[in-house]
Amino acid sequence: MVEEQAEHPADRIWRRHDRRQRLIRYAVVLTVTMAVVWAVHDIDIFWPWVWDAPNQISSLGARMWPPTRHGLALSSRPCWKPYTSRPWPPC
């Protein structure tokens, strides 16, 4: 926390960090940004898959919701089975 010196207390400008701390922070942010850009460029992402991901997720969600009665019964069995003493009949 730095306050610039002024003749009157009302003329002071409060700053959270001094100039050196701000420059260090900007340098760190710039370095991290450059590293992320380099990493994304270097790993050869197949971008059409990335751009298609929201469509695939919405398609998956549309097929999963609303769940059917049979699907709910199958998915609830593993949750209920540890609490029962007898095994479930085969599906």
CA angle 88, 89, 91 (to 5 degrees): 110
% of the chain surpassing 70 pLDDT? 73
Lookup: tokens for 84:
């029962």
Query: Residue range 64-87: average pLDDT?
Result: 68
State the pLDDT at residue 86.
Answer: 60
Question: Do the strands 2-3 and 14-15 form a parallel or antiparallel pair, or are they unpaired?
Answer: antiparallel
Q: In this structure, are residues 49 and 33 in contact, taking their beta carbons and an 8 Å threshold?
A: no
For residue range 37-68, what is the model confidence (pLDDT) as tens digits? 999 888 888 889 999 999 999 999 888 877 77
Residue 4 in contact with residue 13, Cβ under 8 Å?
A: yes
- Contact of 15 with 4, CB cutoff 8 Å: yes
pTM of the shown model? 0.42
Q: In the chain, where are the structural domains located?
A: 2-83
